[in-house]
Copies of this chain bind each other. A is one copy, B any other.
Amino acid sequence: MRLSTRGHYGLLAMFDLAEHYGAGPIPLKMVAERQNISDNYLEQLIAVLRKAGLVRSVRGSQGGYILAREPGSITVGEIIRAMEGPIAPVECVSEVEPTECDQADSCITRLVWTRVRDKLVEVMDSISLGDMLRDAERLSVSRKA
């Protein structure tokens, strides 16, 4: 029941961009350094996020990456789907195009996995990068106190 590092790193990178939202394009090297990820590897991962329409890129000197939308409108669920594909504990309850097995209609375990999937979707889609920024704010305030 693990995420690969793709989803893990993807969210880290997106949150980093959210923290610098409004400051123009952020070079990937900065993100990689701050989040402690190989920048060569992150380059490949951010390409996926770009193709999914979650970030915009600016090429050339002074270039970098910017969130495609404001942090409040980008959810963890979107990011994870982009990085790891449809959310589903097992293939037969995938959000899109589940490959049905022959006893799908009498399969009780399928009901279980559907409930698990629904909970996953519910929590991931309910958290936005904006929410995470607020959490960070609260956390840093309580730290200073």
Q: Which chain B residue lies CB-closest to A9?
A: B109
In the bound complex, residues from chain B placing their C-beta under 8 Å from that of A8 are 90, 109
Question: What CA separation (Å) do A80 and B109 show in the bound complex?
Answer: 12
Would you call B2 and A109 a contact (CB within 8 A)? no
Would you call B119 and A1 a contact (CB within 8 A)? no
Q: Which chain B residue lies CB-closest to A34?
A: B103
Would you call A90 and B3 a contact (CB within 8 A)? yes
* Chain A positions near chain B (C-beta within 8 angstroms): 1-3, 7-8, 11-12, 15, 76, 80, 84, 87-91, 106, 108-109, 111-113, 115-116, 119-120, 122-124, 127, 132, 135-136, 139-140, 143
For the residues of A in contact with B, the DSSP-based class is helix
Would you call B106 and A3 a contact (CB within 8 A)? no
Contact partner of A2 (CB less than 8 A), chosen from B11, B89, B115, is B89
Contact partner of A123 (CB less than 8 A), chosen from B2, B84, B116, B124, is B116
In the bound complex, residues from chain B placing their C-beta under 8 Å from that of A136 are 108
Contact partner of A7 (CB less than 8 A), chosen from B1, B111, B124, is B1
